[in-house]
Amino acid sequence: MDNYKTLTISAIRQGLSNGSFSAKELAQQAVSLAEAENDLYGAFLHFCPERALATAERVDADLAAGKPLGALAGVPVAVKDVIMTKGVRTTCASRLLENYVAHYDATVVARLEQAGGMIFGKANCDEFAMGSSNENSAFGPVRNPAAPDRVPGGSSGGSAAAVAGGFAPVSLGSDTGGSIRQPASFCGVVGLKPTYGRVSRYGLVAFASSLDSIGPFVRTVKDAATLLSVIAGRDPLDSTSAAVEAPNYSAGLTADVKGLRIGVPKEYFAAGLDPEVRGRIEAGLKVLEGLGCEISEMSLPHTEYAVATYYLICTAEASANLARYDGVRYTRRVDEPETLDEMYSKTRGEGFGAEVTRRIILGTYVLSSGYYDAYYRKAQQVRTLIASDFKKAFETVDAIVTPVSPFPAFKLGEKISDPLDMYLSDIYTLNCSLAGNTGVSVPCGKTAEGLPVGMQIICDHFQEATMLKLGDAFEQAGGFTV
Ligand code: GLN
């Protein structure tokens, strides 16, 4: 199978139907390649070949019996290690959960497998999804397949590298403030964050519950549409999943984007934006213009509050969510503590890495009485202003186009000692998350040095169909390589 590294979902479908390969061969190829080459980029934390093979057997049996195949039949899938996979370790890249074996499947995992997707490995990530470079994993960093001395982005760096490095045609990540879009842009693949509530969070280990969403990394926008149709939709197990019908996203890829109104927010092109990134996005906008889109400059006036607002809210929620790792539940406990308090503090002190600890401390602080009004409540108020910026904007535009990150992938170690500088990586993705909108990163050329650049398309709540149609038309018109 010499073309394994570039396979798409539709190519797999075709290969299965014309007998070029079986699902079993695909599953074996996925595992053996990823295991053999994992030292290159460190994209995976562990593998679950039995699980992939069991799904493969089912797909091959259906194929032989002439039964209809699921939308993801025979597609090897990597899953970020913050998503529950029954019977398989789910570590959140944390020492604290090093030996934790999930005892149920996340809804997305169940839906993927039902559609014939073959989950074969768990992808490396930043500890509890906190980070922008994948350097916060307790089990070592991930390298960017496009430039191995550079970071793949984070926190879903392993999921992005799994697709970019050719190990999996599809992976799942999670995005709280940019963790799908930013690594997708750094690695040169497609990464989609759905509207908050579009995809069930049941079985996603909580970081900041009002922001977390699960979404795919893929090679083409068409594959993103296929995948989203499988995982989207109401789930009775997640009360925040919306009862909004999920359309057939693939059927909506008509390439007809003439007259679509695109807003370009001036705040996203201000100081701090790398000139080469700016150049690529401007070239991308030309492609959209050529397709008949109406491009206009607009404003999202509260953009500058993104980083402050996000880091108050996400740390507050994280401090509450991570309180459950107390040494009593979830496997890890320090040896022979003398008192209960010592058991709690030592277990957590040893189990959590520096960034997670920093966020728990910050989050506890902003929620404490006396500071709550000044920080947490204020941040919630600003969040409402940010959301209303987008609401107003979507009265006059159908989509907003911006860079994903102000700079391309940086070198390993370059920003790790300066958390504030690291936090700026997500300056263009945070507000879309705070507003609960959907956003996708699509490849948009490379810098002179060959580093991938991503273009972000943001749409209103539950308007993924418009976003995918625009992204697909952009891809068909050669936008990925401008
Ligand atoms: N990089 C951001 C953070 O560190 C976003 C993380 C995410 O989306 N999970 O919080």
- To the nearest 10°, report the CA torsion of 195, 441, 273, 149: 130
Strand bridging mode 261-265 / 213-218: unpaired
223: tokens are 């594959």
User: Residue 22 catalytic?
Assistant: no
Strand bridging mode 261-265 / 294-298: parallel
Compute, in angstroms, the gap from residue 365 CA to the centroid of ligand 1. Answer: 19
Instruction: State how far the alpha carbon of 75 is from the alpha carbons of 65, 214, 225, 271, 481, in Å.
Output: 19, 18, 15, 42, 26
What are the residue ranges spanned by the domains of the chain?
Answer: 4-252, 261-300+389-481, 308-373
Place of tokens 């759905």: 194
Max Cα–Cα distance, the chain, nearest Å: 71
Compute, in angstroms, the gap from residue 193 CA to the centroid of ligand 1. Answer: 13
Place of tokens 């490995």: 121
Structure confidence at residue 332 (pLDDT): 82
DSSP state of 165: T
Contacts of 300 (CB under 8 A, 6+ apart): 265, 267, 268, 386, 389, 390, 393, 400, 431
Alpha helices, DSSP H, located in 148-274:
157-164, 181-187, 221-231
Radius of gyration of the chain (CA): 21
Residue closest via CA to ligand 1's atom 10 equals 130
Compute, in angstroms, the gap from residue 270 CA to the centroid of ligand 1. Answer: 22
- The CATH number for 261-300+389-481, chosen from 3.40.190, 3.40.50, 3.10.590, 3.30.420, is 3.40.190
Which residues of the chain have a pLDDT value below 50? none
Compute, in angstroms, the gap from residue 375 CA to the centroid of ligand 1. Answer: 19
- The CATH number for 4-252, chosen from 3.30.540.10, 3.90.1300.10, 3.40.630.30, 1.10.760.10, is 3.90.1300.10
Which ligand 1 atom is the nearest neighbour of the CA of 175? 8
Contacts of 349 (CB under 8 A, 6+ apart): 357
User: Residue 122 catalytic?
Assistant: no
Structure confidence at residue 331 (pLDDT): 78
Structure confidence at residue 154 (pLDDT): 96
177: tokens are 């403030």
Tell me if 393 sits within 8 A of 300, measured CB to CB: yes
Tell me if 60 sits within 8 A of 21, measured CB to CB: no
Structure confidence at residue 471 (pLDDT): 98
Which ligand 1 atom is the nearest neighbour of the CA of 311? 10
Strand bridging mode 76-80 / 118-123: parallel
Structure confidence at residue 104 (pLDDT): 98
DSSP for 248-288, please give it: -TGGG-----TT-EEEEEGGGGSTT--HHHHHHHHHHHHHH
Give me the catalytic one of 22, 133, 159, 179.
179
Which ligand 1 atom is the nearest neighbour of the CA of 182? 1
User: Residue 155 catalytic?
Assistant: yes
Structure confidence at residue 108 (pLDDT): 98
Instruction: Give the model confidence (pLDDT) of 33-58 as tens digits.
Output: 999 999 999 999 999 999 999 999 99
Structure confidence at residue 323 (pLDDT): 96
Structure confidence at residue 271 (pLDDT): 86
Structure confidence at residue 420 (pLDDT): 87
Residues at CB less than 6 angstroms from ligand 1 = 129-132, 154-155, 175-179, 207, 314, 426
Say if residue 155 is preceded by a cis peptide, omega within 30 of 0.
yes
Structure confidence at residue 2 (pLDDT): 80
217-239 burial: b if 16+ Cβ within 10 Å, else e = bbbbbbbbbbbbbbbbbebeebe
DSSP state of 205: P
